[in-house]
Amino acid sequence: MGTATFIEKWYGTEFVHLRIYGAWWFTAAWGLLAAAGIIYFVRSHVRRRSATALHLSFAIILLGAMLTRVSARHGSLHLRCGETAGRYYADCGNGNTEELTLPFEISLDSFYIDYHEGTEAAADYVSVVTVRDNGGKTRHKVSMNKILSHNSMRLYQASYDEDGQGSVLAVSSDPWGIPVTYTGYALLFLSLAWMLADPRGGFRRLLRHPLLRRGALIMILSAAGVHTVSAVPARPKDVAGKFGQLNILYNNRICPMQTFAIDFTKKLYGDTSYKGYTAEQVLTGFIFYGDEWSNEPVIRMKGGAMKSRLQLPGYVSVNTFFNRDMGGYTIGPYLQEYYKGADDEFHRNVADMDDRLQLVMNLRRGTLLKVFPCTDSSGHTVWHAPTGKLPAGMDETQKAYIQNVFTLLYQYVMAADTAGFRAVTDKMIRYQHKNGGNSLPGKNRITAERIYNAIPFAKILFMVNLAMGLVTLAAAIFRLTHRNTERYRQKLYSHAATAVMAASFAALTVCGALRWIVSGTIPMANGYETMLLMAWCIQFVSIVTYRRFRIMQTFGFLLSGLFLLVAHISGMDPQITHVMPVLSSPLLSIHVSMIMMAFALLSLTFVCGMTALTLHAARKGTGVETATDMEALRLLSLLFLYPALATLGAGIFIGAVWANVSWGTYWSWDPKEVWALIVFMVYGCAVHHRSIPQMRRPMFFHAFMTAAFLTILMTYFGVNYFLGGMHSYA
């Protein structure tokens, strides 16, 4: 399966679905695996009902998959407004289709896109249809995450015609496979919970283990460019801050100008401020002092290839790339080579630089400054830029105001009239409140976004957590090597570290809450947010388990700090945007949170493994006994592993339910799905001590758990940034 995801990258989705996932031998391999598993399970005389129910659920799920493979029909139905259809095109496999009859007739009354107010961001795609069956007719709405079920057929919103007069519905008929598969899912969820609660199960027996009860794990650690301020002109901080209070249509979302200013500055300079200037000062500098700021070295060179080949410094100005003697736009020829197919590091650097330069150019032209809302007679609000095309029916006075207000602001800037500039800005704010209608975000949302913009949560917390991780590690070693240290001082260190952990957890919770308020959706829709969620889960587990396992505090600080560091320095985009319509489902929140909790717990098993291997290497040849410590770490790793498998299994198959609701198929062999299943199967090996006796040997177990973490890295980073697929937006 893992190999197939790479083949898909090279040969395409259709190829692997025909030659691998849809091939007879692949189905036969699953059938043989299931049969061998059932025979082995029966011969093993497993008596625990929870284990029997768990393994039975997998057999039922595979049976449901077989029924779906044999009996299900999937296809598409193209509807045009006012036309009635009674047939659809079904996928027969091998790239062929056949026309089949629907058990009813259906017509499209209308299709429309529901937008977020005042933006061009789609909130939903809706087809209004009429179904005629047995002389009666009923009217329905089909939209994302809202399917139409009628007479054993399920219809899903799939696509639409560019003219808005047609809609494409996905058609699915799976009367046998879905009930059996869902029965398997229900039994799986029940048995996973039962596995953790069963007094005779491995997890409950683990909790009663003497090493864990005595707290022996506490003893495991015993061995263990400055820039100078330039004279570039800028608006005073308070005046630029006032300008930042305006709202703007940015990223298909109405948000404070401050948010746009921060993103603008970060894209150019890599930070939220420049040489002591705030983001609002940088933005207003480029707007009102364009020539001066275009000569300022505010653009950070990201790629080494372009920097080396063109012999550029670490920071360059906009004017660096405009030279009349060299034909104008100096990187223009390289950009043309990129568009013609040149895809090496140098040309990618050029394309990235061009994107940032175009950002500056569009700002100076005024096309990005969509700060003027206009509500038409139907109540729909559109936000306009001062240099954009305005509606023909707009009042001439209003049109003149929009076209000339920035000229007025510029005049006040040239005259150094701060009071006049502030007065015009205040008038623009009042204009927005008067004409913005329902598109304007509420007061609480604006306040939350300004607080979020003011505090770099990820940057602060990764430094605090990593520093505290090293401090608590050093403190633990110090306590164990200086046993005569006063006990009250040890308690003081412990209480201080606990207070910092609590404060860090509270701050990360506030960060997530603010993003939730601003976006209106639970913050787990992209890579940046899931990194924050992973750090939050790790800290939560650390706080819950710290009293029993003191080592968890160090683990919690180090791991959460690493995830926050990845979120801060990687290419992940922290911008808050509207989620795709298909993601607007409560099942998404459950699916992602379960998966992230599982990954957080599995990350802790990786730390246990690395600690054990490091400790073993450090003690090798010293004659110091390590068996107890190795076993204690194995037990701690298992303590995380059982709930991790439960949450991972539940998360994967809740995602399958969501996929069935959204797309009509609960398993599509998408690379992320495949690798999540691989993670589940690989880590599942570690709890089968009876079938794999080597797992009882601590060093083998720790080596296995350390290597198994590579499957998580592949699932999260490899799929997102290399393989792609339906889940790559996450």
pLDDT tens-digit map of 346-405: 888 888 899 999 999 999 989 999 999 987 766 788 899 998 888 877 888 888 999 999
Alpha carbons 248 and 370: distance in angstroms, whole number: 6
Contact by Cβ (8 Å): 635, 211: yes
pLDDT of 503:
93
In the predicted model, is pLDDT for residue 6 greater than 60?
A: yes
Structure tokens at 608: 């246990």
To the nearest 10 degrees (0 to 180), the angle between helices 527-545 and 487-519 is: 150
List pLDDT tens digits, range 429-481.
999 999 888 888 889 999 999 999 888 888 899 889 888 887 887 776 566 55
Higher-pLDDT residue of 280, 489: 280
Contact by Cβ (8 Å): 475, 493: yes
Of the listed ranges 97-101, 209-213, 447-451, 573-577, the one predicted with least confidence:
573-577
What does the mean pLDDT of the chain come to?
Answer: 84
Phi, then psi, of 522 in degrees rounded to 5: -60, 130
In the predicted model, is pLDDT for residue 325 greater than 60?
A: no
In the predicted model, is pLDDT for residue 192 greater than 70?
A: yes
List pLDDT tens digits, range 523-559.
776 777 878 888 898 899 888 887 777 777 887 888 8
Contact by Cβ (8 Å): 413, 422: no
Phi, then psi, of 90 in degrees rounded to 5: -100, 145
Q: Which of 557, 564, 589, 701 is nearest to 641 (CA)?
A: 701
In the predicted model, is pLDDT for residue 578 greater than 70?
A: no
pLDDT of 677:
94
In the predicted model, is pLDDT for residue 701 greater than 90?
A: yes
Of the listed ranges 51-65, 561-575, 672-686, the one predicted with least confidence:
561-575
3-state secondary structure 423-467: HHHHHHHHHHHHHCHHHCCCHHHHHHHHHHHHCCHHHHHHHHHHH
pLDDT band at 409 (very low <50, low <70, confident <90, very high): very high
pLDDT of 56:
94
Give the count of alpha carbons within 13 A of 342, CB side only.
Answer: 13
Q: Which of 54, 55, 38 is nearest to 194 (CA)?
A: 54
**602: three-class secondary structure by DSSP:** helix
Higher-pLDDT residue of 247, 633: 247
Q: Which of 168, 305, 284 is nearest to 237 (CA)?
A: 284
Those residues whose C-beta lies under 8 Å from the C-beta of residue 606, and which sit 6 or more positions away, are 705, 706, 708, 709, 712
- What is the edge-to-edge ordering of all strands in the sheet holding 166-173? 136-143, 122-133, 96-115, 84-93, 73-80, 166-173, 153-160, 148-150
| Inter-residue long-range contacts of 569-576, CB under 8 Å, 24+ positions, other chains counted | 570/527, 571/721, 572/526, 572/527, 572/528, 572/531, 573/526, 573/527, 573/528, 574/458, 574/528, 575/251, 575/263, 576/253, 576/255, 576/259, 576/449, 576/452, 576/515, 576/518, 576/519
pLDDT of 31:
92
List pLDDT tens digits, range 298-317.
999 876 788 888 888 889 99
pLDDT of 465:
87
In the predicted model, is pLDDT for residue 271 greater than 80?
A: yes
Higher-pLDDT residue of 694, 566: 694
Share of residues in the chain with pLDDT > 90 (%): 34
Share of residues in the chain with pLDDT > 70 (%): 88
Alpha carbons 465 and 599: distance in angstroms, whole number: 19
In the predicted model, is pLDDT for residue 178 greater than 80?
A: yes
pLDDT band at 221 (very low <50, low <70, confident <90, very high): very low
Structure tokens at 475: 């403190």
Alpha carbons 58 and 188: distance in angstroms, whole number: 7
Number of Cβ within a 10 Å radius of residue 182: 18
Instruction: Quickly tell me which residue has 């889940």 as its tokens.
Output: 727
**105: three-class secondary structure by DSSP:** strand
pLDDT of 218:
44
Alpha carbons 75 and 84: distance in angstroms, whole number: 17
Query: What does the radius of gyration of the chain's CA atoms come to, in whole angstroms?
Result: 30
In the predicted model, is pLDDT for residue 729 greater than 50?
A: no
3-state secondary structure 332-393: HHHHHHHHCCCCCHHHHHHHHHHHHHHHHHHHHHCCCCCCEEEECCCCCEEEECCCCCCCCC
- Average pLDDT rounded to a whole number, residues 550-578: 72
List pLDDT tens digits, range 586-597.
677 678 778 878
pLDDT band at 71 (very low <50, low <70, confident <90, very high): confident
pLDDT of 222:
43
